[in-house]
Every structure is written in C-alpha cells, then in structure tokens.
Amino acid sequence: MDLILVNIIDGLVTGLLLFMLSAGLTLIFSMMGVLNFAHASFYMLGAYFAYQISLALGFWMGLLIAPLIVGVMGAGVERYGLRRVHQYGHVPELIFTFGLALLIEELVQFIWGKNQMPYQVPDVLNFTAFAIAGNSIPAYKIFMIFISVAIFIGLLYVLTRTRVGMIIQAALSYPRTVESLGHNVPLIFMGVFGVGTALAGVAGVIAGPVLGTFPGMAFVLGSIVFVTIVIGGLGSLWGALVASLLIGWVTTFAKSYNIAMSDILNGIGFSTPENLSDSLWRDLWTVTSPQIADILPYILMVLILIFRPYGLFGKRDA
Amino acid sequence: MTAALELSGLRKSFGKTEIIRGVDLAIGQNERHAIIGPNGAGKSTLFNLITGRFPQTSGHIRLHGQDLAGKAPYEINRMGLSRSFQITNIFPKMTVFENVRCSLLWSMGYKYNFWSMVSKSRALTDGADQILEQINLTARRDLPAGVLSYAEQRALEIGITIAGGADVIMLDEPTAGMSHSETDYIVDLIRKVTENKTLIMVEHDMGVVFGLADQISVLVYGEIIATGRPEDVRANSKVQEAYLGEALEAEH
Amino acid sequence: MSEQDQITTDPTKPAQRMRAGSMTISATPWIIAAVLLIAMPYLFPSRSALTIMNQMSITIVFALAYNMLLGQGGMLSFGHAVYMGVGGFVAVHVMNLISDTGAPFPMPFLPIVGGLFGMGLAMIVGSFSTRSAGTVFAMISLGVGELIAACSVIIVVFFGGEEGVSGYRDEGLPFFGFDFAQQIEVYYLIAAWLMISALLMYLYSRTPIGRMANAVRDNPERAEFLGYSARWVRYYSFAASGFFAGIAGGLFAINYEILTEENLNTASSGVILLVTFLGGVGFFFGPIIGAIAFTLLQTVLSLHTELWAFYAGVLFVATVMFFPGGLAGLIMMHVPVFQIGKAKQLVLPYFKTLIPGAVAVLGVSALVEMTFHYRHAATGDNEMTVFWTTFDSHAILPWVIALVVTFGALYLTRLNAPSLREAWAEANTPDGGAA
Amino acid sequence: MRNPIKFGLVAALAASVSASAAMADTVKIAFIDPLSGPFAGTGTNGLHQYEFAADRLVNEAGGVLGGDMFEIVAFDNKISPKESLIQLQVAIDQGIRYIAQGNSSGVANALTEAIEKHNRRNPDDRVLFLNYSAVDPALTNDKCNFWHFRFDANADIKMDALTDVMAGDDSIKKVYIIGQDYSFGKAVAAAAVKNISEKRPDIEIVGNELHPIGKVKDFTPYARKIVSSGADAVITGNWGADMLGLGKSVLENGYTGPIFTYYAAADGITAAFGETGKGSLRLVAEGQINPPVSMRATEYYNAFKEKYPEGNISQARITNVIEMLAKAINEAGSATDVVAVANALEGMEHEGLWGGKMMMRPQDHQLIQDVHIHAHTDDGITFDYDNSGFGLVVENTVTMAAMDSPTTCEMKRP
C-alpha cells in the first residue's frame, strides 16, 4: 500500500516530465503539421546549456537562461530551416527534423565530448523531502512536480485567456481560416516553435541532473514523445497531459511489480511446460513486466491507432 | 425497368444539423438529370452520399436496383457509377496519358495485376488514346497533368470519369469557374461523352442545365421540391418562389 | 512488342515519338550496369573492396525496396529494417538447418527464403497498418519496429539475443562447383541478386498495380473512384516491399553469416530512410546513388575522420534544404539542358563557381577538424594531418592559412554565383522562345 | 546514368582504402572499437591507452624482433557487428595480423566467428584476435577458438571473486540482483545465483530481474523495489548510462548498502557519481591502480596523465596485451607467423605492470590473473578518474582467480 503511493508520486514525476516535452510537440504539430523529430534534441540542448551555465552562474540562472537560448535556437531553426523546407511538403519537413536531430547530437559531442556531464542537483534541493516506509522522496522531485504543474497552468492560461492564445487555439483547429483573417501566421509559427522548443529546454534543464546529461539522452527519449502525443490525440493539450500521465504510471507500475507471464498464462489455463529450458516458448514463459515496461507505450499506441486513429482526445484524424 | 439510380427516404445529419431531409428520387436509364438548388441546399452532400464518401444516416440508395449501403467508393465504382469532383481532382504529377490509362485499368480487368507491363498492352494504350481524342487532349498527352490550364484539367477530369466505362456518370459542377467559351466547350464535350449513358449533374449555370438536362430536380434545404422536364420545372410556381425566380431574373 | 506499338501508332505525333524513343534506350542502363558489376572485381580485387561493394549492393536492394513504399507508394515507414532483419534471421536459421541436416539446398536460393518471410511479416503488419498512409501509417510502423526490435533481446530462441545468430554459408549444396567460401564468389552471387531484384522492382513499377501505387500516393480519393481500393493498393506495395527487403536480409545473411539486433533496431530503419532520401525518392535510380554515397561515407570516410557522422548529418540536412529531389534530382535537373543542347554553356560557369565552392567546403571541414583536434587531442600531441598536410594545430600559421583559403574561396564562390545562375537560366531556355 | 557515378565513387573508395597501404617493418595492431556514437568515449579512451602502451612499453624499449615498431591502427566500428566485420576485412587487407577489440560481447562474438572462418578459408593471411574487454564467458567456453585470446577476467571469474569477498561479510543477509536484459546481464545473474547458493546458502536472494538495455529513462521504480525488498547488497552488471542511472537512483531513494558491480568507473561515471557513490560502490576488476604497486606503475601513470590530462587508465589490462604480444612475437621469432605467436602466447606466464602474476590458460585462452574488489572513494587516491578527486582503491584481492575453474572449451588447433 505504501509502495503504491510512492509509485504514484514517481509515475507523476515521469509523466509530468513527458508532458513538458509533448505539450510543445503537440502544439507544433497541430499548428504546422510538422512532427518534429528533433524535439528531444532541444531537450538535450537545454540540459547541456544549463550545465554549462550552472558552472559559471549556478543552477538557478541555468534554469532561467538555458530555455531562452533553446527557444531562440528553435525559432531560428523554424525561420531559416523549416520554413524553407515547408514548400516541399510534409515528408521533407519531417526528414529535415530527423536530420537535424542527428546533427544536434553530433554537435553536442563535438562541443562537450562523449562522456556523461557531472550536472548535479543544486545543494538547496539535495535533501530528502519525506519518506514513506523507508522510500525517500527527494525534494528535487517535488520541485520537478511544482515546475511542471506551474508550466501547465501557465500554458493553459495563455492559451485560454489571452489574445495570442485565442489565435493559437483557433489555428489549432482551423489553420487556413486564421491565415485568411490576416494574422501573421509565419510569425505565430515561429513563436510557437520557439516556445515549444523552450518548453523542451526547461524539461532538459530539470531532468538533466536526475536522468543524466549525456549525448544519448535525446535518443532515449526521442520516439516516446511521439508515442505520447499520438496516444493523446494530435493537437490536444489535454490529451498530451492524460497520455503523459498514463505512460508515466503504466511504466512505473509495470517496473515496480514483477508480473510474470507464466502467472498470466497459468491463470488463463495453460500449464507450464515441464522442461522449460528446452521449450521453444521458453522466452515467452519467462517474460516479466519490468522487461517489457518500456515497450508497453508502443503496444498501447499501435492498438490505439488501429482502433481509434485520432487518439484518446484528438478531434482530427491523424 | 429498374431505375438507374433510386433514392428513397435518404437522410443525413452532421451532429444535430440535418442536411439531407428525406430525399426520394428515381433517375431512369440514359436520362440526363440535373440537380439544382441554391447554395447550401445539400447538393454536394447528396453527391457524396450516393458515391459512398459519407455514410447516410437513414434511407436507401439503389444503383440498378442494388442497395449501396455500406459500400466503399471503389465498390460503388465497380458497380458502374463514376463521378467527378467540384474541385479538380486528378493525378497532378502523372502525365495526361497516364491519368487516363490509370482510370482504364480496373475496367479492363487488370485489377491488382503485378505480372504484366502496362506499356505492353495495346488495348490500354489505344483505349487511353481514344479517350484523349474524345476530350481533345491528344496534344497534351505527355505533359504532367498539373501544368494543364484549368479548362483542360476539367476536361481531363471528365475524361477520367468516363474512361472506366461506367454507365452512370455523376458530374459535380463541371463548368464551375469557367469563361463562356470554355463552358460551351465543356458542354459539348459532356454531351458527346455521355451518349447512351445516365448522367447526373449538379450545376449552377442555368444555361448549361437547360441546355443539357432531360430532367431537373430542385433541391432546397435538403428536400426535393420539384422534379420534372425543364419546361415544367421552369413553370412550377413553388420553384419560382423558392429559387428559380431569382436565379432566372439574375440571368436576364 | 514495342516495335509493333511503333508500327500501329502514328509516329508523326510528337508524344508517341518520345515514348517510342524511351522504349529503345531503356535497356541500355541495365546492360551497362551488368557489365560494370561483372568488371568491378577486376578493378578492385581486394577483399575489403569486395566487402564494401557487397555492403553497397545489399543497401541498394534494401533502399530500392524502401523506395517502393516511400517514393512510389507515398508511405513513410520508420521501422522498415524489421522486414529485412526478419528475412535475414530466417535465412540464417535455414543456413544452420542446412549445416545441421546436410539438406541439399544451394545457397544462391537462400535470399528467396528471406524474401518470403519478409513478405509474410509485411502481410501481417500491413493488414492493419496500410488502412491509411500519412501519420497513422508512419506511427504504426514506428511502434511495430520498436516492438520487434525489443523482442530481439527478449526472444532469444529466434533472435539469439545480443549476440545474434550466425551460420556458415559454405556448407550448402555446391552450386556449379561454387561453395561461396570466398568473398569473390559471394560478390557475384550478390551482384546477380542485385540485378534480378532491381530489374524486378523496376518492372513492378510498370505493372498496373505499380502504376496505381503512384496514383494512390498522389490522390487516394480519386483512385478509389476509379475502382481501386487505396488500402489494397498500399497493401500490395507493402507486401512487395517486404519481399525485396527480405531478399536484402537473405543477402546480408550470406555476406556476413551473422544477424544481430542491429539489423532490426530503429537506427537501421532511420539509416535506410536517410539513404533513400539522400539519393532521391522521385527517381527509380535515386536510392542506388544514395546507397553508394552513404556506404562510402560510413565505411570509407570513417577511416579518415571521427567526425564522419557530423559530415553525414550536414550533407543530409543540406540535401533536404536545398535539393529536396536528392542527388538523383540534382542529376536529372540537367536533362533538359542536354535536351536543349546547351550543356556546353554551363561548363565554364560551373568551373568558376564549383571549384572555389569545393575549396570552401574543404576549407570549412579543415577548420572543423582543426577545432576538434585543438579541443580534444591529447596535450603535447599538437601534430595533426589534414589533407595530407601535417602541421601543429596549436600554431597560428595553419589557422591563418586555413581561414584565408576558406574565406577567399567563399568570396570567389559568391562572386561567381550570380553568373552561374544566369547561365543556368539561359541554358534552360530553348532557342526561339517557348517550347 | 548512375553508372559513371558509381564508377567514380568506387574509384575514390579504392584510392582511399589503399592510401594507407602496409609498410614493411611495423607490427600493426588493428583497434576495432567505437570511435563515434554513444560509446565513443570508452572507445577513444581505450585507443589512447593502446597507443600509449605501444609507444612506451615496446617502441621506446627498441621494438620487437630487434627493431620492428608497434603501430596501433584505429578502426571505427560504431559498436555495430556489421561494421566491425567490414573493418576487419579492411584491416586484413592492409596486412594487419592482430585485431584488438573489447567493447560489447556481441561485437566480440561476431568477430571471433568471422576470424575463425577467415583463418580457415584463407590460411595465407591468418589473424589473431586479442580480446581485451569482452567478458561473455561463452567466448572462452562453447565458442572458444584457437585464434581468440582474452586478457580480461570473464564475467564468471569476476563473479567468483566478488562472491568470495561477499561470503566473508556476515552482515549481508539479503541480496538483490538486477541487470540489463541481454547475454551479459543474464550471465552475471546466473553466476551470482550459482556462486551465492554454493558459498553462502544462508543469503536470501530477494530479487533477480532484468531491465531493457539502454532504454530505461528513469530507474526510480527499480530503486523502490530494491529499497522495499530490504536488500543489504545489490549486484549488477550494468554499464554506461544504465549503471549511472541505476546507481544514482538507488542511492538517492534511500538505499545505503554496498552495490557490487563490474563497470562503474571512468568515462565520466566516476565524476558523475562523486560523493553519492562513496561508501557504496564496489567494483570487481583486474589491475591495481590505487595504491600504486610500484615506482614503474606510478611513472607509467604519470606519463600517461601528462600526455592525456583528460584521460584515465581505466583498462589496466591493455598493458598486458601489449607486453605479452611483444614477448610472444619475440619468442616466435616472427610477427607474421600468427600460429607461432599464438603458440607462444598459449600458457605464457607474465608479471604485469600493475602487479601480480598472470598466465594465459592454454585450455581456453583465458588469462588467469589477480582480481581485485575496488571501492569508489576520495580517500587514499593517488590517481583519480575524470579528474574528479574520486577513484578506485583496492580493498580485497583474489590471487590467480578461478585458476582451476572448469571450461567447456574444446580447442581445435591448426
């Protein structure tokens, strides 16, 4: 019972982190129709910039400045890269971001080398907030929850209460109409791209110290972000939130409880073969839930796409 | 003799809004039937229902007596119904010749054939060339369809629509956005290529409608208020009142 | 048969003249390719050259298969390595079966086994993924790719875990006396399969279903109203692509005698997308160029610099940004110029712009290498070699020289670019106004 | 249209492959390991250690066979088995007879099989495989061959040593085993279970599980399970980012006991663990760095640090590879007759630079040597890793570990 509570908190942290990435991605997708493969790379840049800044100015300045730099870079990529490729169609756009992701990874290795960076949790937050049955919850995790929730509320406020937000929301559903109403859609695109990547940057800044700051960090997270927004429904902010939390909890619980395939198979009436080690099916019998925890989201996505192609909350067909 | 196309009690709602509100209509073999009506009357929706682009909410559509419920567009096409689109809908990257050849493939029995070369079939090549001749695009044969002029693209669209040999042809505003001379050209073309076929068309241009159609149905707010020969419809007071009057006045 | 066409159609019609012409030249590239493939080992007899050429050939088959989806069918797959991989794994298992049982099975037919299993898997996955093209297809392909790749370490019985599955290619039934122990024999086996598969894939694109694949790519709705189910057309393309990907897998099994997790993972799927796009999806021969260029980058450039992936990334992004038609598109841009007969006019402007341009590119890469060396090389190890010149990367002079050369070349390039642009426009205008 | 291009490109390829053609009087060693991609850090550091060892231990001492110099030729395999096989062919074509590789047992497995096939099919240019780091036990058991020599202690030997030390610690009652879901992770888990149940049947194994390799973003759930299982020792074979992620997560979430592991040092990991890992991390490895065993070792390390201030000697065994190869070549009297060199290596006894005797066991070509249990700390560190002040200090030593351990190898000699 205590462990369930701990897992709920852990899953929440994972889910909210995922949400910060997927929120920007889903905004970018729904406005511009671009599946930005380089999104996780901006997350990585956020972590590296914050690390570099924290060496000179400390963690908090890193948290402030790094996302700004990432956002400006993102806007630059939109202005000078994507906008040019846009005229060729969606597939070249997607492939452009794919190439960009490779390039950013190479660039990071070029500048910072290939080793893990010693980017640490700031001392102020390096203590145990509270413990549940011997499981300590680090204060930094509470801080991560706080930041993510603050960003979600801020995003919701901007989208629903401000003029810019109204235009963006309108552009989510009716991109062409908004354009014909005389709004500077390219500028909005650039802005949304910048803000989306800056959000990814924030995620990188706060995740870097706990999940590690290394050149492979974008690749590890890369495709799972797509999975999230596809499950949630492309273009839906709420969908992104629900899917992020869903994935956070599903993977956390699957890892925490050793549900063995042999138990499931026994439960539905198959009996374990006697000489398991010789059986052709031995690998199936020995599968446990932690082994497959990280591929569960992919299974979920494929199933959702087959039965509900527009995702949980999506309005438009993907 | 069964009607070529028969609609009975056809309804379609989008959310709470009912766009088609109970249409009953029978179109006979080899009839040239025009559906007219003011903007927003549901003409294109009706077209899309018949061709399986949307499922109907209730009612029946029968092609040569066979119910089309639940049939996908390609199945309906194979039963002998072919359509054109209001917005030009061709294969812009392929050549004009290939556009037509593609539309011949199914009806010539090639189906999902992956063992014979299309260029080796004289029947295909000759068939496509004949159609090009009919629609006067032989000179444009090897150009990508996307670079043709608007009128030429419309002509190609009609060519694609009739190429498969369907006996029920549905044209959605074939002369929309054309100049006078272009319209005359297309009307002649339609008359020529729909010889001995059933033609159903939606059209705004009254000149085209009265020049081409044997029968006219007037669709207003999702209901057919009148069906009949052109002169009867023109004389119908309900039509005059609802729609035709102003349209005719505007034309004079 | 083509002669008959010519007799019955009217040769005075310009369009038919063109088509008749294209029929007669179409066999030439195939003959040249075959002759080249036969001659290649005489030019480059070393085993490593053979190995690299084998790798190229396998990549070409795979890239062509991939382009059946992307270029001809308009389907973007992020998990296509799976079909090649599974075909390859089955091929290795069959190879082992041959070794164990001594079954009389000649190795040259092994790729067919791979192809059939690749196709079988594609038929299963395609049954639910080809319902639409676009994002849904792309995401299902990503998901399925990840799933099967993850299975490769979990289902050890079939995929052999991280170590993979290996076998011996020389224990099959000798084929006309060849047992395929030597690289050169394997080279000709793979070359033969390359010719067969490329030809089959080319012919496939000329069949009714191949033509309809293009039609569905451009306008699925219109295709439906022509009697074709867009879904079934996609399904056929997908299955055919799976078949040829499986053939490539079988060839991989013969060449390397081992298949591992890397044959299935998403990185391999990404690479084939890069290869195909780099070569150009719009032309049948595009992926061939892409496969050759990428193999050279990966295998040969990486012998010379650690930064090969960086250069590959730059090349790739630049291609997408400036030449969306890929390398093949770049080549085909020149066809009209040759047809008009003004190609000669381009030689001098090209010379004047591209030479400084090339120097500038090399200069920039030298600067990149020097920066990298300056930052990452061992202390005291100041000596470095770029373009066969050895110097001290910590001294000023080499930097000054590199900078001056680079910027000078850049300046010259910019200076001459407008005249190239003019010459290009001029060369593309036929004499006597519009065509 | 494509053919002239193909021709041109292949011409360029041939030119560049043959540009670095063989020179007469050097003994070339191909170093085939990742120099680009995620594992490039480890690979590059290994390359530096090879180059340094060849220069200092062989070339500065006058070379082998009265003046032939060692040269390390680097090949980037991108940690891909396929690329490794291509690079192997390139290396053989350049006249290289010695192949050194270590990162990833998957690659090692592909290479050892390819080399065995190559040597059988091409008796004129056979090569030897000097495996300096791939520790999958199968390589010197079921999959052993005459051309393969392993200089690192394999996973079973290391686990044997590790559990010897654990067996002596009575405070350990509950052990949790966790590893990456692939051959090495499974081998570690199996060896741990076997050894513990033999040596300390009273220890309860409270957890034994595998997680996907390189895919776990957050190890917290695993850490929770470990903490709530009440384990007072953790055994893991994790390496790279998976090691760092697991270790940090376990320690941050309330675990205080020892973590016994194989690879949790250098390449940024020591620095990233820093203070967090002190008192918990225990590494099993050969080669004693701290405290230094001799003046010679100290000088060697200092010279290395002078040349590579950012580098670490993280694979001490590389010096053994170089020294033993040089000895074997001299003994055989030829660098090209690899059968003679292999015969000389078989059964060779050697006094290592980092202390201790070692012997290349002839039955399976596994080097038998001292295995140490190190602690991650900043006390008593002469040579730290990652310039972080932290490093490894030897706590326990098992001399000539697993000397009489059985092997299933059936060596076929030419």
Provide mean pLDDT across the span B211-233: 88
- Kindly determine whether residue C36 and residue D7, on different chains, have CB atoms separated by under 8 Å: yes
The pair of structure tokens assigned to B230 is 């052109």
Bridge pairing between strands D98-101 and D69-76: unpaired
Contact (CB, 8 A) for A202 and A151: yes
**Predicted pLDDT at A315:** 65
Is residue C13 over pLDDT 60? no
Residue type, C224: E
Most D-contacting residue of C42, C162, C202 (CB-CB within 10 A), to test interface: C162
Q: Of the ranges B82-96, C20-34, C313-327, which one carries the lowest mean pLDDT score?
A: C20-34
Residue C331 located in a structural domain: no
Q: What tokens were used for B95?
A: 């050549």
Query: Is any Cβ of chain C less than 8 angstroms from the Cβ of D35?
Result: yes
Q: Do C157 and A283 touch (CB under 8 A)?
A: yes
- What domain range includes position B230? 5-251
Q: Which helix (H) or strand (E) holds A83?
A: helix A83-86
D40:A114 CB<8 A:
yes
Cα–Cα distance for residue pair C304/C388, rounded to 1 Å? 11
Please give the pLDDT value at position C177: 78
Amino acid letter, D37: G
Element spanning D31, H or E: strand D26-33
- If pLDDT is split at 50, 70 and 90, which confidence band does B250 have? low
pTM: 0.87
The CA distance from C399 to C401, in Å, is 5
How far apart (Å, rounded) are the C-alpha atoms in residues A278 and D46?
40
Same domain, C255 and C116: yes
Q: Where is pLDDT greater, at C28 or C177? A: C28
Chain B residues within an 8 Å CB radius of C119? none
* A143-170 mean pLDDT: 86
Of A81, A95, A306, the CB nearest to C273: A95
- Going from N- to C-terminal start, the domains of chain D cover 25-134+317-352, 156-289+370-398
Round to whole Å and give the CA distance between D131 and D112.
9
Tell me the range of A8-22, A156-170, A270-284 where mean pLDDT is highest. Answer: A8-22
Which residue of chain C is at minimal alpha-carbon distance from A279? C157
pLDDT score for C125: 94
Cβ within 8 Å, pair B93-C214: yes
- Tens of pLDDT along chain D (414 residues) come to 344 444 444 444 444 444 444 444 789 999 999 887 777 778 888 999 999 999 999 999 989 988 899 999 999 888 888 889 989 988 998 899 999 999 888 899 999 999 999 999 999 889 999 999 999 899 999 999 999 999 999 999 999 999 998 888 889 999 999 998 887 888 899 999 999 999 999 999 998 888 887 778 788 888 888 988 889 999 999 988 889 889 988 998 888 899 999 988 888 889 888 888 898 999 999 989 988 999 999 999 999 998 888 888 989 999 999 999 999 999 999 999 999 999 999 999 999 999 889 999 999 999 999 999 999 999 989 999 988 899 999 999 999 888 888 899 999 888
C-alpha to C-alpha distances, C133 to C384, D45, D135, nearest whole angstrom: 50, 46, 46
Tell which wins on pLDDT, C25 or C417: C417
Residues 6+ apart with CB under 8 A from C107: C95, C169, C172, C173, C175, C180, C189, C254
Print the domain residue range for C113. 44-267
Bridge partners (DSSP) listed for residue B169: B82, B199
Flag whether pLDDT at A172 surpasses 70.
no
User: Is residue C405 pLDDT above 80, yes or no?
Assistant: yes
Helices and strands: H and E segment counts in chain C: 20, 4
The answer to whether residues D43 and D83 touch, using CB atoms and an 8 Å cutoff, is no
Q: Could you report the per-residue pLDDT of C333-350, keeping only the tens digit for each?
A: 888 788 777 777 788 888
The residue out of C217, C238, C267 marking a domain boundary is C267
pLDDT recorded at residue C170:
85
More confident residue, D309 or A179: D309
Is the sign of the CA dihedral B79, B84, B90, B95 positive or negative?
A: positive
Nearest to A134 among D221, D227, D272 (CB): D227
Which of C168, C288, C303 minimises the CB distance to D2? C288
Q: Is there a contact between A135 and D254 if contact means CB atoms under 8 Å apart?
A: yes
Strands D204-211 and D174-180 turn out to be parallel
The pLDDT of residue C2 is above 80: no
Query: Residue B130: its chain C contacts at CB < 8 A?
Result: none
Beta strand ranges found along C364-403 (DSSP E): 383-386, 389-392
Sequential DSSP letters for D303-354: HHHHH-TT-----THHHHHHHHHHHHHHHHT-SS-HHHHHHHHTT-EEE-TT
Q: How far from the centroid of its chain's Cα atoms is residue D10's Cα?
A: 36
pLDDT at position D21 is 40
CB contact under 8 A, A305 and C154: no
**Contact: D93, C378; criterion CB under 8 Å:** no
Say if the Cβ atoms of C313 and A102 lie within 8 Å: yes
Q: Is B73 on the interface with C (CB under 8 A)?
A: yes
Q: What type of residue is C179?
A: D
Strand partners, D179: D210
Nearest to D148 by CA among D188, D186, D117: D117
- Furthest CA-CA distance within chain C: 80
Q: Answer whether B194's CB lies under 8 Å from B204's CB.
A: no
Mutate to test the interface with A, among D253, D273, D314, D388 (most CBs of A within 10 A): D253
Pairing of strands D371-377, D391-398: antiparallel
Q: Is the pLDDT higher at C367 or at C56?
A: C56
Q: What is the mean pLDDT of residues B81-89?
A: 86
Closest residue to C15, CB basis, from B89, B110, B141: B141
Quick one: D156-289+370-398 is in which CATH superfamily? Answer: Response regulator (3.40.50.2300)
**pLDDT over 70 at C21, yes or no:** no
CB D267 within 8 A of CB D47: no
The CATH number of residue B36's host domain is 3.40.50.300
Q: Pick the residue with more confidence: D258 or A314?
A: D258
* Three-class secondary structure of residue B71 per DSSP: coil
Could A85 and C147 be called an inter-chain contact, meaning their C-beta atoms sit closer than 8 Å? no
Range among A121-125, A157-161, C56-60, C213-217 with highest mean pLDDT value: C56-60
Q: What is the pLDDT of residue A128?
A: 81
In this complex, do D269 and A116 lie within 8 Å of one another by their Cβ atoms?
A: yes
Cβ–Cβ gap A302/C140 under 8 Å: yes
* Cα B247 to Cα B195: distance, rounded to the nearest angstrom: 29
pLDDT at A1: 57
Which one of C267, C291, C326 terminates a domain? C267
User: What gap in Å lies between CA B56 and CA B11, rounded to an integer?
Assistant: 6
Task: Determine the pLDDT at residue D20.
Answer: 42
Instruction: For residue B82, list chain C residues with Cβ-Cβ distance below 8 A.
Output: 225
Nearest to D254 among A117, A134, A214 (CB): A134
Higher pLDDT, B234 or D391: D391
d(CA C22, CA B225): 57
Packing angle of the helix pair A237-256, D220-228 (nearest 10 deg)? 30
B117 shares contact with chain C (CB less than 8 Å): yes
Quick check: A133 pLDDT over 90?
Answer: no
Q: Which two tokens stand for residue D317?
A: 């065994």
Q: How many Å apart are CA B109 and CA B117, to the nearest integer?
A: 14
Q: Classify residue B146 by its DSSP letter.
A: G
Q: What is the pLDDT of residue A5?
A: 86
Quickly count helices (H) and strands (E) in chain D. Answer: 12, 15
Q: What is the pLDDT of residues C244-301, one digit of tens each?
A: 999 999 999 999 999 988 899 888 998 999 899 999 988 899 999 999 999 988 877 8
Q: Which range has the worst mean pLDDT, A135-144, A306-315, B139-148, D230-239?
A: A306-315
- Please give, rounded to a whole number of angstroms, the shortest distance from the CA of D272 to a CA of chain C: 20
Is C381 a member of any domain? yes
Domain count, chain B: 1
Chains with 3+ CB–CB pairs under 8 A to C are A, B, D
- Does residue C237 carry a pLDDT above 90? yes
Can you give the pLDDT at residue D2?
40
Cα separation, A247 vs A21, in Å, equals 13
Cβ separation C214–B51 shorter than 8 A? no
Residue C303 placed within a domain: no
CB D115 within 8 A of CB D129: yes
Nearest beta carbon to residue C316 from set A88, A99, A107: A99
Nearest-angstrom CA–CA distance, D238 and D217: 14
Whose CA is closest to B39, among B19, B25, B21, B57? B19
Task: Report strand pairing: B198-202 vs B32-36.
Answer: parallel
Q: Identify the CA nearest to D233 among candidates D254, D259, D208.
A: D259
Show the tokens assigned to C178.
């060849």
Residues of C in contact with A234 (CB under 8 A): 135
ipTM, two decimals: 0.85
pLDDT value of residue A116: 78
Q: Which residues contact A318 (CB under 8 A, 6 or more apart)?
A: A230, A234, A305, A309, A310, A311, C134, C135, C136, C139
Asked whether the beta carbons of A62 and A213 are under 8 A apart, the reply is no
Number of domains in chain C: 2
Mean pLDDT confidence for B59-66: 90
Residue C12 above 70 pLDDT?
no
Residue-wise pLDDT for C114-142, tens only, equals 999 999 999 999 999 998 888 889 888 98
pLDDT at C26: 75
DSSP secondary structure string for all residues of B48-62: HHHTTSS--SEEEEE
Query: Does the beta-carbon distance from B125 to C5 stay under 8 Å?
Result: yes
- What's the confidence (pLDDT) of residue A175? 64
Q: How far apart are CA D148 and CA D138, in angstroms?
A: 12
Q: D397 with D370: CB under 8 angstroms? A: yes
Q: Side-chain half-sphere of D37: how many Cα atoms within 13 Å?
A: 15
Could you tell me if residue C277 is inside a domain? no
Q: How many CA atoms lie within 13 A of B19 on its CB side?
A: 19
Residue C206 has its nearest CB partner, among B83, B118, B142, at B118
The SS3 call for residue A103 is helix
Q: Determine the average pLDDT of the residues in C397-425.
A: 84
Instruction: Answer whether C4 sits within 8 Å of B122, measured CB to CB.
Output: yes
pLDDT, mean of residues A183-195: 84
pLDDT of residue D195: 92
Question: Would you state the pLDDT for residue A282?
Answer: 75
Determine contact, residues B115/C210, Cβ cutoff 8 Å: no
Measured CA to CA, the distance from residue C69 to residue C217 in angstroms comes to: 9
Measure in Å the smallest separation between the Cα of D331 and chain C Cα atoms: 31
- How many Å apart are CA B25 and CA B28, to the nearest integer? 10
CA atoms within 13 A on the CB side of A65: 14
Pairing status of strand B17-27 against strand B5-14: antiparallel
Q: Touching check for D82 and chain C: CB below 8 Å?
A: yes
Q: Answer whether residue C60 is part of any domain.
A: yes
Q: In what order do the strands lie in the sheet with D281-285?
A: D204-211, D174-180, D233-236, D259-261, D281-285, D371-377, D391-398
Pairing mode, strands C258-259 and C165-166: antiparallel
Architecture of the domain delimited by D25-134+317-352: 3-Layer(aba) Sandwich (3.40)
3-state secondary structure of C386: strand
Task: Report yes or no on C392 lying in a domain.
Answer: yes
Comparing CB atoms, the residue among D221, D268, D388 nearest residue A7 is D221
Residue B32 has a pLDDT of 92
DSSP-based three-state secondary structure for A115: coil
DSSP SS3 for D302: helix
Contact D6/C292, CB-based, under 8 Å? Answer: yes
